[in-house]
Structure 1
């Protein structure tokens, strides 16, 4: 049996790996920034074209409206009133389009500002002279995670994942008084390789510690199942205001 998409924790050369991560993240966000910038320019051009179209329609759509007409109409409804209604409807549509596109452009502005601020924060964290160095930040997180290794020192890994999850829930609820963890999981008694189980528990541990200590999470729902072909597990983190984040683990099991 082997697992796919496995994740292993390696603390060696943390600063170097964070620099590589930063470069990749900066490239990704820079590309997104350029894409949003181009999209914003296109939206602004569209707004300009719509405004020009509105002005043009005001002048040319019904050129006779506004001119003095001494003729009398004997139809039940004055034709000029119909023309005015049609003109108002066209103008409403144009104004609605302009408003909608303007709001979208403002949202892009906000996202672009977030990207710039985030990139600046990363630069600050990677500065070796900064007290908020990213490497130092992560090392602190590693220390927090290492304290949780007590669970693994005292815990015997079982081939049934559900049994391990129950013990993990008990461990964390004893560790954090205000944390509530709900478990909705089925494994049908299927036995897994203990190294697979241990790796899943390690990933859960890291994410639970981060959720509680970094984001003040008060409730966690662990749900999923084990089948003969797959392991599916979801970690749902919640606070008083509602859902915050979801962490998913999925393994394809090959018993060949």
Structure 2
């Protein structure tokens, strides 16, 4: 099977909600991403979750006041997202079937490093945001360190990354991402993120519990971004 093949997600469909499964780290990242999402400021607020997978962000949105719209190409994942409270929409992140400015928040978690045309995906994410809306994301940097840790090392650790799930040639240079977001009206603040050392060691020993993702000074491997779309002049 080639790297970054969508068919892998169907093959691993039963792993999404297992805390000790192949997608364990995605649960930790969803919790960290949710901490960047502000509470809704109006009753009909919408959050568009690009590359939503099986809806792992959903439990972390309880009480925030959003209609959670999950966009993905994988039907087996969308079915699970719908069962966990997201409104499922089948669509490509580079051509989302939703109207301009429909979202108060757009989330793009662990998505951009899987997209062939990252510039187009960024343009779509920003298009969906209303002025004053918030973009939150996390992805892997286009560095040797990211290739080593996210592919060579992580694919050998159960729960860290399924073998072949990433194509390191698609990892996203942080400077390119910030530039593209700015071009589409979103000034992105970025910071590195990593698992807490104590939590990760405990999880590796037991494969139990959730590991807290913590900020780090370096964006060389994994990084988060948050930005607000500029108000129109």
Q: TM-score range by the shorter chain?
A: under 0.3
TM-score, length-scaled by structure 1 = 0.21
Report the structure, 1 or 2, having the larger strand content: 2
Larger Rg: 1
Length-normalised TM-score, structure 2: 0.23
